[in-house]
A and B are shown apart, each in its own frame.
Chain A
Amino acid sequence: MDNTREDIPSWLKTPEHYRPGTDRDGFVSRSLLSLSAALAQFRLDGGRQSRCSPTAATKLLFAVGCVLLVSLSRNYLFVLIMLAGVLVRACLLPREALAHVMAGATTAASFTFLVMLPAILLGQAQSPVTLATKAFVSTGLVLSVALTTPTHKLTRALRRFGMPGVAILTADLALRSIVSLGQTASEILTALQLRSVGRNHNKQASMGGVGGVTLLKASRAAQDTYDAMRCRGFDGSYELGGADPLTWIDACWGLLFAALVAAFFYLQGLV
């Protein structure tokens, strides 16, 4: 027994009290992880259409037209009428979509308001409020359309309006990659956090590595997707097939848009 005890090296006999120095990992855990979380927010779900949803093409035209009218409007009442419409539409959205639309629209409006605050000093007290309301309405409209339309139907609608196939392909691949890239970045950062034992002042040096690996993975994922599409006979052009039949719901939305255009010109004339 004694011999065995003597065989043990002395450094092994002393109890270890390793206390790693407190490390500041705010750089990793807060800055970049929150960035990845923000990226993950771009996740596109299937898009759920309601019973009164028009075809994607009508919806897209309606949304673009409304954003244009709101931007051109010099009458605040018209913006408020559109605000009422966006809020009513938001009320009817499913729970998650409602939170998404309100968060996006409120952020856009708050940012616009902050940027426009100096206008108050120049005597334009109403401008920040007007522009913030316009930003809220436009963002709310676009998000509502995005969240209530399946992605493939939006792609189809874009193609119907003559957008080049390459542009659609690029946008499609980019949007789909954002989610997986957000996850990849998050995994790399978690690995970096786990491997960084003890005090490490040099975490920022890993920034390039994280970005580089994410870029390489992105490029590989895009190439794989493109190859898979080529294998299935994709030649870069989007064939539309049969036209989407317009329904009475599209007609109703068309009438609503005509009413909005009429209200726009009437109210514009009163200013």
Chain B
Amino acid sequence: MKILTCPMNGPRNIDEFQSFGPVRAEPDPDMTADADWSRHLFRAENRRGMVVEWWRHVPSNYFFLAERDLVTNEIIRTFDASERRAQS
């Protein structure tokens, strides 16, 4: 069983979690052309390598971020969303 370390709940089986896919830029709906909006909706990061993704711990409904390697499936680190806001 693969273990994912939740920033709030600690190490748990990965089947307790739900993946919400790679973090995307959040465009302003009023300022975005249709083509860019389509891009935002349908084209997610899929390159071989590191990706930062949204995950949710289902029982506690806690959303957080994880940095993971899409080839080796290694989870590099997990962190609270506030850390991302602090960076940007």
| A, B co-complexed | no
Using a CB–CB cutoff of 8 Å, the interface residues on chain B facing chain A are none
